[in-house]
Structure 1
């Protein structure tokens, strides 16, 4: 029996971006205490990796100046933005500007800036940095978490969005623990 290897058609990057834009993602600002002061950047690629050991990851363009600083630091804080924190998202997405003048900041256990009123905070120690196409990923070992009752800000179809108020209710009578199946 002979197997025929087919090569998939090239995927147009703009079509891929529009397609993946249909998947809502969290919006977070990753911060750390840098040698010359606090640093931070907006990410839309936060993902849970493992609960034992507790690991999360995020991704940034390989050419990002802020990521090049973050990747050299041992500890960082992921601030998951709340619905009313779009200005923080845009402030930290910019290449220049006084980023920490937007929002109210305090120091967390690792001395990284922590955003008051965020939806959640995840403090991590850098586990590894790895290549992922035109991006780099950072894997963090979680050592402290906290959350609020503030609804999260999401990115969907190219814009910042809010969850529908009914989304907070349990819409299924059976709890879906699909990650344990």
Structure 2
């Protein structure tokens, strides 16, 4: 029998519980007035095939999101296993978030990180307040994938690799 640990449903308890759910790591990026901005999210969810929609969540305290939400197009890069350093840089509060990345431009303001397992370009369809976060729904305009790049997975508060059995 497995031991069960119970925690209060506060911020610390929720972080511990959510750490048990693996997720991909996605860079949300755009270039505003000649400056690239980006952040890493692990709350990326496919929403709809028709129309093509995805969502991600952004902390209301983010100092980067106010820049990104000005973009006419956003670039989402689904990071690959070799991009752990880029994910850490994008998740940092200070410093050059793109020091570990090569960028390429998409439509309008969209910017992508080279080497990702997939790229999604889109426009903001809706923003929904949700507690200490905002849920952003993005309408997909273009996408591309690379079958030869394994996705970067965040689980147990660590970056991990998928193992095929």
Give the structure-1-normalised TM-score: 0.82
Cα distance in 2 between the residues matched to 1:160 and 1:152: 10
Instruction: Give runs of ≥4 in structure 1 deviating > 4 Å.
Output: none
The match for 1:105 is: 103
Cα distance in 2 between the residues matched to 1:36 and 1:52: 33
Q: Number of residue pairs matched?
A: 157
C-alpha distance after superposition, 1:40-99 (max 9, x if no partner):
001110101111000011101101010121122221010000001000001111122122
The match for 2:24 is: 26
Contact 1:80-1:152 at 8 Å conserved across structures: yes
Q: Give the CA RMSD over aligned residues.
A: 1.3
The match for 1:159 is: 158
Any unmatched runs of 5+ in structure 1?
1-9, 167-181
Task: Find out whether 1:148 has 2:165 as its counterpart.
Answer: no
Cα distance in 1 between the residues matched to 2:11 and 2:36: 34
The 3-state SS of whatever aligns with 2:46 is strand
Any unmatched runs of 5+ in structure 2?
1-7
Q: Which moved more, 1:82-91 or 1:71-80?
A: 71-80
